[in-house]
Amino acid sequence: MKWMKGTKEGIIVAGGQGGGNGLTQLSYPKGVVVDQLGTVYVADDENARIMRWPKGATQGSVIVGGNGGGGQSNQLNRPVGLSFDRHGNLYVVDLGNHRVQKFNIEFNGYEFYDCVRFFLPISLS
């Protein structure tokens, strides 16, 4: 939900169609980042994916994961946080795999770069 100052109702910017794995749904969203263009990125925990909703979109797209929960470089296991660096690289806290992964997001998918393993990572700043 996006809440504008002085309003009494929020605006749904991602999900909102009940819990599930469709492109209009989320299941236990755990982290969110909004870029300068108003694009919303969500760590979708139970669906093991990172979703992107451009401003005004009625459905999202999977930009990382979405290949079932697991430990391969194209899989996530309980993503709970995300952040971008100044170069546009996406960092994902992958709680179930005890790692933080770095991705270079491109228009036609993503390129896996690297990961660092931790015991139970839960957020980034």
- In a domain? residue 4: no
- In a domain? residue 8: no
- In a domain? residue 16: no
Asked if residue 107 has pLDDT above 80, the reply is no
- pLDDT for the residue numbered 30: 93
Q: Where does residue 68 fall: left (phi above 0), alpha (psi -120 to 50 degrees), or beta otherwise?
A: left
Domain count, the chain: 1
- In a domain? residue 24: no
**Domain with 35 in it:** 29-117
- In a domain? residue 123: no
- In a domain? residue 11: no
Q: What is the mean pLDDT of residues 77-103?
A: 92
CATH of the domain at 101: 2.40.10.500
- In a domain? residue 74: yes
Q: How far is CA 77 from CA 41, 56, 74, 92, 96, in A?
A: 17, 29, 10, 11, 5
pLDDT tens, residue by residue, 14-45: 998 999 999 999 999 999 999 989 999 999 99
- In a domain? residue 68: yes
How far is residue 40's CA from residue 82's CA, in Å, rounded to a whole number?
11
